[in-house]
Amino acid sequence: MKKNAGKFIVAAVASLFMIVTLSGIGLAADPIKIGVAGAHSGDLASYGIPTINAAKIVAEKINAKGGVLGRQVEVLPEDDVCKPEVATNTATKLISEGVDAVLGHICSGATKAAMGIYKDSNIIAMSPSATNPGLTQSGDYPNFYRTIASDDAQAKLDVDFALDTLKVKKIAVIHDKGDYGKGFAEFVKKFIKEDGRAEVALFEGVTPGAVDYSAVVQKIKRSKAECVIFGGYHPEASKIVSQMRKKRMKTIFLSDDGVKDDTFIKVAGKYSEGVYASGPRDTSKNAMNIQAIKEHKEKYGTDPGAFYINAYSAAVALLNAIEKAGSTDYDALTKALKTEWVETPIGKIKFDDRGDAIGAGFSVYQVQNGVYVELK
């Protein structure tokens, strides 16, 4: 008993000493507090936890090198269970703890709910995973950034590619009536109309699995479209492309990452030649990407989970911006995020006026000699 008491005293003295030293550092320079908000418990915890891990790994690494602007980085995780009604409380709590920037939130709905609160306190939030287009496009959240492409980024990229590179004037938009394909097709239609340089000659849904698409193909031909933009998956795409080519039509075929799949080339064979499809930019060979995954394995002993790479990139981008801005001031930080390029595991990025990462996301690929080749 006496022995234990002795141990206790030693521990108490030690911890007291630590507190004193810690506050000593604190007096020298306040830590930079990064709030990490997202689902850390509940059904969707697997989406949120990797972001905490990423933030901790990045913070540890930077702290070991002396921190940012001579200040240590502190990670403050806060759970929002991916629920909008909880997310507002999460945001309020993080602000009351004095965070300088927030990494999060994870789900689009929760992010939307929290953004207003951050905006009122001039705090920047950067999400690794919220893909809802409205977050950046509505203009309601000037303090919002993300390191993942928004749902409509592919549609935008494909339309830009068709208008700027292919320079087509008439476009047929075809989809497979599914959530993914139709959603994509509707964004494509919207962007073509907004741009005004080309017209949508045809907007049609096809039935997946039908034995033959000759009627739709004839309709495309009749519409005199120079280019087909297809929203859907490869089985239908390969049938439509094959039938178009068999009817001796040379119409350009452009599609989404449902088609950017090697099975498409295998199935459509020679007819796949020249087909364009957008798909996620290949980052697996990026040295930082490999390094980030290795660090996770070393620290946690497992493979990283969902959005880890995006979260890692967001943490790097945020801390880099603070470093470049020289402070955590809102305006300086905003300027740094939008002007300074930064190397991250998802590539070299900076942010556009709306808060979407330029340089992250999708590329257009073309089938050349039986393989998808990324077009620069």
Partner 1 sequence: MDWEYFWELFFGGLTRGSIYALIALGYTMVYGIIELINFAHGEIYMIGAFTALIVTGVLTLLGWNHIAILVLAALAAVVYSSAYGYTIEKIAYKPLRNAPRLSALISAIGVSLFLQNYVLLVQTSDFLPFPALIPDFDFMEPFAHIISSPEIVILITTTIVMILLTIMIKFTRIGKAMRATAQDKTMAALVGINVNRVVSVTFVVGSATAALGGVLIASHIGQINFYIGFIAGIKAFVAAVLGGIGSIPGAVLGSFVLGWTESFATGYISSDYEDVFAFLFLVFILIFRPAGILGRSTTDKV
Minimum CB–partner distance for residue 173 and partner 1 (Å): 12
Compute the CA torsion angle 99, 105, 109, 115 (nearest 10 deg).
30
Residue whose CB is less far from partner 1, 253 or 307: 253
In the complex, the residues that contact partner 1 under the rule CB under 8 A are 177, 204-207, 209-212, 214-219, 221-222, 234-235, 238-239, 242, 246-249, 263, 266-269, 271
How far apart (Å, rounded) are the C-alpha atoms in residues 348 and 229? 29
Distances (CA, A) of 131 to 9, 81, 119, 355: 53, 17, 19, 12
Residue 376 CB neighbour total at 10 angstroms? 5
* Nearer Cβ to partner 1 (126/206): 206
* Nearby residues of 62 by Cβ (< 8 Å), 6 or more positions away: 68, 73, 319
C-beta of 271 vs 308, nearer to partner 1: 271
Least separation in angstroms between residue 214's CB and partner 1 is 4
Kindly tell me which of 84 and 205 has the beta carbon lying closer to partner 1: 205
Q: Are strands 32-38 and 101-103 parallel, antiparallel or unpaired?
A: parallel
Q: Shortest gap between Cβ of 227 and partner 1 (angstroms)?
A: 18
* Closer residue to partner 1 (CB): 116 or 269: 269
> SS3 string of 178-212?
CHHHHHHHHHHHHHHHHHCCCEEEEEEECCCCCCC
Q: Identify each DSSP E strand in the chain by its residue range.
A: 32-38, 73-79, 101-103, 124-127, 144-146, 170-175, 199-205, 227-231, 252-255, 276-280, 342-344, 347-351, 357-358, 362-368, 371-374
Minimum gap (Å) between residue 96 Cβ and partner 1: 52
Least separation in angstroms between residue 364's CB and partner 1 is 24
Tokens 């479209």 correspond to 225
Angle at Cα 375 formed by Cα 371 and Cα 376, nearest 5°? Answer: 145
**Least distance (Å) between residue 278 CB and partner 1:** 21
Closest to partner 1 by CB, 54 vs 172, is 172
| Nearest residue (CB) to partner 1, 222 versus 348 | 222
CB of 239 to partner 1, least distance (A): 6
Closest CB to partner 1 among 250 and 285?
250
Helix (H) or strand (E) holding 234, with range, is: helix 234-246
User: Side-chain half-sphere of 277: how many Cα atoms within 13 Å?
Assistant: 28
Classify strands 276-280 and 362-368 as parallel, antiparallel or unpaired. antiparallel
Q: How far is the CB of 206 from partner 1 (least distance, A)?
A: 5
